[in-house]
Amino acid sequence: MTATLGTTSTTKTPDLGPAVELVSKEEGHRQPLAPEFVSAEDFSPLEVAYDFGRVRREDIEAGPKNIWRYKKLLPVPSNVEEIPNTEPGATRLIQADRLAKALGVKKVWVKDDTGNPTHSFKDRVVAVALAAAREFGFDVLACPSTGNLANAVAAAAARAGWRSVVLIPKTLERAKILTTAVYDGDLIAVDGNYDDVNRLATQLAAEQESWAFVNVNVRPYYSEGSKTLAFEVAEQLGWRLPSQIVVPIASGSQLTKVDKGFREFGQLGLVDETPYKVFGAQATGCSPVSAAFRAGHDVVQPVKPDTIARSLAIGNPADGPYVLDVVNRTGGAIEDVTDEEVVEGIRLLARTEGIFTETAGGVTVATAKKLIETGKLNPDEEIVLLITGDGLKTLDAVEDKIGPKATVSASADAVREALGI
């Protein structure tokens, strides 16, 4: 099933910059650019193919301080920065010496994507989806979601002046409902679980001609936005690839796109094609890709998620097999960590580097720790950690574990005693 073209698409040829075709991931069938996400030939996911032409560092450096500086490597129009959209990206890459010391390794870099407009990497993919969707003539931005994606879609649609339609399970935490509802789109709470919401989204995507479901019918464009994480890391390192990078796995899309981003930078001569290893991080309560990696399988057995890392809780990850390909090809590894380790990971990053990440970031940090302890990450080579979301959104995960050192009466003596001074 694929979505039909948007209503106004006949009046305009979409300008998707360097993008030229869609190609199926399994057998490489090619088809014209359209809001479709599965190949009718081999039923595998469709991916954007490009004709990049020449891209120089100077062109990128002269661009805006957000993801649109990489527009020549994305399926977006050539004047994308002039069109109302959120302006994600250009987030900090922090040299994390105290974390490195705590982990017993030489050098760690933290890519802190909490600085995005709605504080997660989802702003990157949604901004690209919106830019492409506009070219296809859509005028409604939609998604099924349980958190970060809902925030990003509702915010981007508000900024663009589009209607947003976001479907959520009605049991979602109140904070996540509020941070989506505030943008005043059409937020619909469904009396069902995530599977129900996803099913309804797929149904609506098939019948609503002018609706772009970011992670359904415009998914090939949407997912390309994750490449900008790789682009930024490489540019911020001074135009070179890192030797080791740890990426959290939900659907697996981000990990494969980080790899794609590094390869494209290398192929275009923007960086030297030095070897790099990609490592994957999962929560044990939803670790189908980690389990497949451990077993040496090339397919992924779906699981029923049960973890506090809800933004990673996809039991049947669409890009699982491709994640295994990337990790095996680059010589990386995949590990998973318990919920307790996730919280420890959150606290370790906060304590050492002053960055408060959500549970997904805790998964990344804790998995890195485990990969170091088991000798899979080389302690003598640099390690980049992708921190993709914000602790303010998952306060419940740490709520019972942290608090004031002491509660005292309002006297200087009491404070001194509590502080041991």
Instruction: Look up residue 162 and give its two tokens.
Output: 């589009």
Place of tokens 């980080």: 258
- Residue 161 vs 275, nearer CB to a copy of itself: 161
Binding residue (CB under 8 A) for a copy of itself from 191, 275, 299, 375? 191
Phi, psi of 291 (to 5 degrees): -65, -45
Q: Which of residues 329-388 bind a copy of itself (CB under 8 A)?
A: 346-347, 350-356
Give least dist CB 113 to a copy of itself, A.
11
Q: Got the DSSP string for 88-152? A: ----EEEE-HHHHHHHT-S-EEEEEGGGSTTSBTHHHHHHHHHHHHHHTT--EEEEE-SSHHHHH
Whole-angstrom distance, CA of residue 377 vs CA of residue 375? 6
- Residue 193 vs 301, nearer CB to a copy of itself: 193
Give least dist CB 284 to a copy of itself, A.
22
Strand order in the sheet with 383-387: 92-95, 108-112, 383-387, 244-248, 277-283, 334-337
Q: Determine the longest span between alpha carbons in the chain, in angstroms.
A: 76
Give least dist CB 354 to a copy of itself, A.
4
Stretch that binds a copy of itself, among 13-21, 69-77, 168-176, 242-250 (CB under 8 A): 168-176
Q: Which of residues 234-263 bind a copy of itself (CB under 8 A)?
A: none
158 forms part of the interface with a copy of itself (CB under 8 A): yes
Which of 286, 313, 315, 349 minimizes the C-alpha distance to 99?
349
Q: Contact 232/90 with Cβ under 8 angstroms?
A: yes
Stretch that binds a copy of itself, among 188-196, 249-257, 299-307, 311-319 (CB under 8 A): 188-196
Whole-angstrom distance, CA of residue 397 vs CA of residue 400? 8
65 forms part of the interface with a copy of itself (CB under 8 A): yes
Stretch that binds a copy of itself, among 50-58, 185-193, 216-224, 364-372 (CB under 8 A): 185-193
| Count of residues that interact with a copy of itself, criterion CB under 8 A | 82
Give least dist CB 273 to a copy of itself, A.
26
1 forms part of the interface with a copy of itself (CB under 8 A): no
Binding residue (CB under 8 A) for a copy of itself from 42, 182, 306, 373? 182
Give least dist CB 84 to a copy of itself, A.
7
DSSP three-state, residue 290: helix
CB burial of 221-253 (b: ≥16 within 10 Å; e: otherwise) equals: bbbbbbbbbbbbbbbbeeeebbbbbbbbbbbbb
In this structure, the dihedral spanned by the alpha carbons of residues 338, 315, 49 and 26, taken in order and rounded to 10 degrees, is: 120
231 forms part of the interface with a copy of itself (CB under 8 A): no
Give least dist CB 264 to a copy of itself, A.
23
Q: Which of residues 7-46 bind a copy of itself (CB under 8 A)?
A: none
Binding residue (CB under 8 A) for a copy of itself from 49, 83, 181, 318? 181
- Residue 23 vs 387, nearer CB to a copy of itself: 387
Binding residue (CB under 8 A) for a copy of itself from 183, 265, 279, 322? 183
- Residue 9 vs 116, nearer CB to a copy of itself: 116
Q: Which of residues 86-115 bind a copy of itself (CB under 8 A)?
A: 86-87, 90, 92, 94, 97-98, 112, 114-115
**What x-and-dash track marks residues 289-328 binding a copy of itself by CB under 8 A?**
----------------------------------------
145 forms part of the interface with a copy of itself (CB under 8 A): no
Contacts of 238 (CB under 8 A, 6+ apart): none
Count of CB atoms within 10 A of residue 392's CB?
13
Instruction: Look up residue 111 and give its two tokens.
Output: 């890519």
Phi, psi of 164 (to 5 degrees): -115, 145
